[in-house]
Each structure stands twice: as C-alpha cells, then as structure tokens.
A and B are shown apart, each in its own frame.
Chain A
Amino acid sequence: MDVLQLLISGISQGCVYGLIALGFVLIYKATEMVNFAQGEMMMLGAFVAITFINVLGWPFLPGVLAALAVMAVVGMVLERLLLRPMIGEPHFAVLMLTIGLGFILRAVAGAIWGGSPRALDSPYAGKVWQFGELVVGAESVFIVAGTALLCLGLYLFFRFSRLGIAMQAASQNQLAAYYVGIPVKRIYALVWALSAVIATCAGVLTAPVSLVDPLMGLIGIKAFAAAIVGGFGSLPGAIIGGLVVGLAEQFAGLYLPPGFADMSAYVILLVMLVVRPQGLFASMQHKKV
C-alpha cells in the first residue's frame, strides 16, 4: 500500500516537473535558446492566479483563464525586450541572461506579493477520495488530469492547427521556414507566450498543494534535469522525464538514507548525461565531424 501511495504522489509531482520541462523544451526546440527562468515563470503564474482568485475574489475558472492570458502577454513582452536582442549571440550568453532574468523575477515577485508563502484557494482544496486503504488527494488527481488534458491539447495544436505546424517548421529549420513565408520572429514571441502559459498551468495545478512563494521557482532546476532525461527537444520525453524524476525522488526518500531524496534528480541527470547524453527520446542529432 505504501508503494502505491508513493507511486501516486510521485506521479503527481512528476507531472509538475514534466510541465515545466515542457516549457524548457518548447523554447529550446523553437529558438535554440535555453530559458533557465522557466521555474520563475511558473512562480509568477501562480502568483497572478492568486491575485485574481484570492485577492480580487474571481471564481476559480475565470481567474485561471485570466492568469493564463496575463502570463501569455508577459512571456511575449520578455521575449521582445530581452531575448530578441540576443538572437545570434552565443548559447552561453543567453543562458546567463535567463539566469539573471530568474533573479529579477524573484525580486519582482517579492516586491509585489511579499516573501511569505500563500496557498491558492481552489474548489477542490483538501478533498480526499478513499479507495479501500488508499487515500488520494483531489489535488493529485487534478494535477495528473490537468497534465493529461494539456498534453492532449498540445498534441492537437501541433498536429492540426496552422500556428502549431508553423511553430514546428520554425523549430526544424528557421531559414526554410522564413523562405516559405512564416514570420519567424513572431513565432518566437508566440512560443514564449505558449511556454509561459504551460508554466502557469503547472503553477496553478501545484499551487493548492505546495505553497506559493518567490523561491518556488527553484524546482525549475529539477525540471531541467527532467527535460534532459527525456532528451532535450522531445515533448513526450519531457513528461516522461518528469515522471522519472518525480518517482525517483519519492522512492529515494523511502528506501535510501536521508539526503538522497534531494540529490536523486541530479544523480539521475549526471548518470544520464554520461551514459546516454541524447536522453531517452533523442529527437535531434548534433553535429559531428
């Protein structure tokens, strides 16, 4: 029974990692930039949702939709102001820039919402369902269901919508996409908006369980490990990687000496990088000579 319980909490935590990892991968695939501030985008999204729902008193669903819209605009504005001037600069410079951006977002969140942790009011807060001896929190179920729905939505978007296909084209070959008339710069801005929306979904789903504070975004680093485990550049891989990291963390906490739970994500990451650097689901080949 313990194992099943761990399995469930591992999967729901893994889904959160997976969603953040999805944001990393989307941006990397489309723009070849790595956004280290993805965890901070999640934190910001959760805070915006709290503002609409807790502070302004909107009902849950409209509040979440409003937060998604606000964060989409934030994503686009960040891309336009900070990332657009960096097109063509080395990867390392962009990486540093997004690390700096993460620090700034953390300070901004601290300035607006203060440093003390808050919980998002949700209609399903605190509810539990009991199956025999197994106790399942409604939050976990909503995290898993929300992730599944979002993945389905993204699949349909990339498979059938005009914009989704244009994004795929831009991420596969920028120059060719430009030649067939896709406005690549605008696509970049939209990709940033999309990944901010996904980060906000992760934030809203996790906010009722774990409290929201400016340092919450630090789990972005673990999500990064998930993205690499899944093979940086594969969307299903990101979710699978998230599940691997989430489950490993839960089980390391039970079966291994203390300290390993915090480390497990990084140990998996290092082992993965040494043994199979292209990740579980390699979708991109790197240059060889």
Chain B
Amino acid sequence: MRFIRKTRYAQDIALFRHNGQRFWYALLGVLVVAAPLALDDFYLGEMAQVYIYAIAGIGLMILVGYTGLVSLGHAAFLAIGAYAQAWLLTRGWPFPLALGGAALLTAATGAAVALPVMRMTGIYLAVATLAFAVIVEQVIVHWASVTGGFSGMLVPGADFAGMDLASPRAFYWLCLGVLAAALLLAANLLRSPSGRALVAVRDSEVSAASMGIHLIRTKTLAFGLSAGFTGLGGALFAHKIGYLAPDAFTLQLSIMLLLMVVVGGLGSLHGVVFGAVFIGLLPQGLALLRDTVPPAVAQIPGLEPGVFGAILVLVLIYEPQGMYGRWCKIRAYFSEFPLYRRATYKRQKRYLRTERLQ
C-alpha cells in the first residue's frame, strides 16, 4: 500500500494517484490498441464482446455499485439501445449520430421509468425493474412494425471514419474507443459533485438528504445515466450480433449483467472491467471444460446457468468485494511482503439495518 503525501486539494480527486499508475495504464492502453496486430479475428471478436459488456456494465455499476439501487431489468435497456440503433440506421442516420441517438433515447427511457419507481427501495425496486423488463420484451414481440416482432430485425451495416464496421479490426477499435470514452466519462462523473451525491445516497439516504441532496433528482439522474451507458453498450451489441430477436434479451441476460458487476467487485470501475473479462471468458472456459467431463455430465440441461449461479453464490459468501477486492488484497500482500497481516482485511461483524418500523 502506497501512501501519498497530499499537498494540494486537487490531488484528492485526481484521476491517477501517482506516476506508477500512469505508467501501468499507459502500458495497458498501448497493449490493447496494438492487440489487432498480433491476434486473429476470432480473439478480436471475443475481446470486442468483452468491451461491449464492460460498457453496459458501467451503466449497471453506476446504479448498483454507486447508488445502491438494484436493477433486475437491465437487459431491457440493452434491448432498447440495440433496437434504437438498428431502427435509426435503417432510417438512414449516419453511424455516430445513431449511436448517440440510441444512448440518449435509452437514457430518456431510463429517466422516465425512474420517475414512478423512485419512491421504492431495495427489493421493491428490483422487482419493479424486473416487471419493466418483461413488459419491454412483450412490447418488442408485439410491436412488429418497428422491431420485426418474433422474426427479428437485421442490423444494417455501417461505416465510421472510413472504416467498414464489418471488419473485426475496425469494430474492435471502435468498441475500445467507446469503452475508453465511457470509462473516462464515468470516472469524471464519479469525482464530480453529482457522483459524490450518488455515493452519499447509497451510504445513507437520511444523511444525504440532510446534507441537501435532492434524493429523487439524484436517483433519477443515476437511473438515466445508467440506462444511457447500457443503451450505448446495446447499440454496439446490435452490431456485434448482427440480427436482433426478442429472445436475445431475457431475464437471464439481466442476471448475467448483475453477475458481472457483483463478481467484478461492486463500487469500482475496475470491477466492471474485471467482471466483463470474466463474463466474456466464462462461456469459452465452460466449453473447454465440457470436453473434459463425461458426456452424461456435459449434457445436463441448464448446466451453464447453474455454473453461473454457483459462482455467484460462492462469490457472495466468500468474497463480497469481488475480483477487484481480491486483487487489491493480493497486491497489498506483495507490496508489504514480509509484514502483511491477515487482520487488515478481516470482515467485521455487521448487523442488518432493518427497513421495518417495529
């Protein structure tokens, strides 16, 4: 653990805390930008998928990790972003405008949904978002003139800055660029007064309100932003899958997005990226594992969601901080090497803050 002697207030909110961080992020940036030169198309496609998950995950992290509101229906926002993108492109909008339009439309939907449900908290909110997602799924199925209904909708090809997005390389760079921009935007948001307000609402609504934070406005903002980021991810997702059908955006996808932020580590943007890498690699890992186990085991129906569920349960019980939390502990172990004390990260016994009035 490195302690920085702060001499200016600006250091408290600086994006990078010290030069070591700048060096490592720069190295990572060079590596991912140069990756298409070394990898073949399959891996580029997989990595682009990971970036898309990460963009959608930023949205969910703002809501769940920073504002403390749970959504079980984020697949709906992904769907709205994806369909909006495809629809705007078929109307002849140029790609960058369609991308922005899809994100804004989803953000507006999110804010509109937020207004009636903002009086609820906790479990009620989670269930309301779940109901919203089911209703959106039905609307997609039955509003055939826009969405193509059950038979689905082809996403038109597009090009951006002279690159055809059908090429895996161009698409990879596009996703990387959007992810970098989204991460920067989210990081800047979270060190601004609005972002601090989100965290304050998460930690205690009562004390946030007494500090002068407008609860409804802050939560609506969080919901809108969250939906906007997820819609942006959805717009790119549309290009990734190429053909939109309602069964691509199910409850299971919502749960998977939630799994991503929980496994990655709630309350940090690093967690989103860790979680996206995890979610992106898991199907491949399971496919490999499937070849090594006896076929009787590999053919169990629902095996893949079952493994997802098991991972979720184990993470929640043994490492609630997620992969990023574990990574911080490992880093602290090595940086303090012979002096590491286990008790530093010992979980304190906590008592539930009851929501009831007895």
Contact A288 B357 (CB under 8 A): yes
Chain A-chain B contacts (Cβ-Cβ < 8 Å), number: 157
Which A residues between 178 and 236 are near B, CB-CB below 8 angstroms?
Answer: 214-215, 221, 224-225, 228, 232
Is A277 positioned at the interface, with any CB of B under 8 Å from its CB?
yes
Contacts of A88 in B (CB 8 A): 349-352
Is B245 positioned at the interface, with any CB of A under 8 Å from its CB?
no
Contacts of A173 in B (CB 8 A): 358
Bound: A103/B317 CA distance, A: 16
Contact B356 A269 (CB under 8 A): no
Bound: A287/B120 CA distance, A: 12
What per-residue 1/0 map shows which CB atoms of A11-25 lie under 8 Å from chain B? 000000000000000
Partner of A95, one of B116, B126, B303, B311: B126
Which B residues between 156 and 180 are near A, CB-CB below 8 angstroms?
Answer: none
User: Interface residues of B, CB < 8 Å — how many?
Assistant: 54
Contact B255 A263 (CB under 8 A): no
Which of B41-49, B132-140, B191-199, B283-291 forms contacts with chain A? B132-140
- Which residue on chain A has the smallest CB distance to residue B357? A285
**Interface size of A as a range:** 35 or more
What per-residue 1/0 map shows which CB atoms of A63-103 lie under 8 Å from chain B? 00000000000000000001001111111110111011111
Which B residues between 281 and 323 are near A, CB-CB below 8 angstroms?
Answer: 297, 300-303, 305-313, 316-317, 320
Contact A287 B357 (CB under 8 A): yes
Partner of B310, one of A87, A92, A100, A110: A100
Query: Which residue, B135, B305, B355, B356, has most C-beta atoms of chain A within 10 A?
Result: B356
Bound: A284/B358 CA distance, A: 8
Is B131 positioned at the interface, with any CB of A under 8 Å from its CB?
yes
Interface on chain A toward B: helix, strand, loop, or mixed SS? helix
Is A126 positioned at the interface, with any CB of B under 8 Å from its CB?
no
Interface on chain B toward A: helix, strand, loop, or mixed SS? helix
What per-residue 1/0 map shows which CB atoms of B46-74 lie under 8 Å from chain A? 00000000000000000010001010000
Contact (A106, B317) CB under 8 Å given A88-B349, A95-B126 = no
Contacts of A262 in B (CB 8 A): 134, 138
Contacts of B308 in A (CB 8 A): 100, 103
Contact B313 A82 (CB under 8 A): yes
Is B23 positioned at the interface, with any CB of A under 8 Å from its CB?
no
What per-residue 1/0 map shows which CB atoms of B193-210 lie under 8 Å from chain A? 000000000000010010
Contact A115 B355 (CB under 8 A): no
Contacts of B153 in A (CB 8 A): none
Task: State the Cβ distance, A219 to closest chain B Cβ, in Å.
Answer: 13
Contact (A87, B355) CB under 8 Å given A269-B127, A273-B124, A289-B206 = no
Is A163 positioned at the interface, with any CB of B under 8 Å from its CB?
no
Enumerate chain B interface residues (CB-CB to A < 8 A): 64, 68, 70, 116-117, 119-120, 122-124, 126-128, 130-132, 134-135, 138, 141-142, 206, 209, 251, 255, 258-259, 262, 297, 300-303, 305-313, 316-317, 320, 349-352, 354-358
Shortest 7 CB-CB contacts between residues of A and residues of B: A107-B306, A103-B309, A115-B301, A100-B312, A266-B131, A100-B309, A110-B301
Additional 11 contacts, C-beta under 8 A, given A82-B313, A89-B316? A32-B352, A32-B355, A88-B351, A92-B68, A93-B320, A95-B123, A103-B310, A110-B300, A111-B303, A263-B134, A287-B354
Enumerate chain A interface residues (CB-CB to B < 8 A): 32, 34, 82, 85-93, 95-97, 99-104, 106-108, 110-111, 114-115, 172-173, 214-215, 221, 224-225, 228, 232, 257-259, 262-263, 266-267, 269-270, 273-274, 277, 284-289
* Sample of 5 A–B contacts (CB below 8 Å): A32-B355, A92-B68, A214-B301, A267-B135, A277-B124
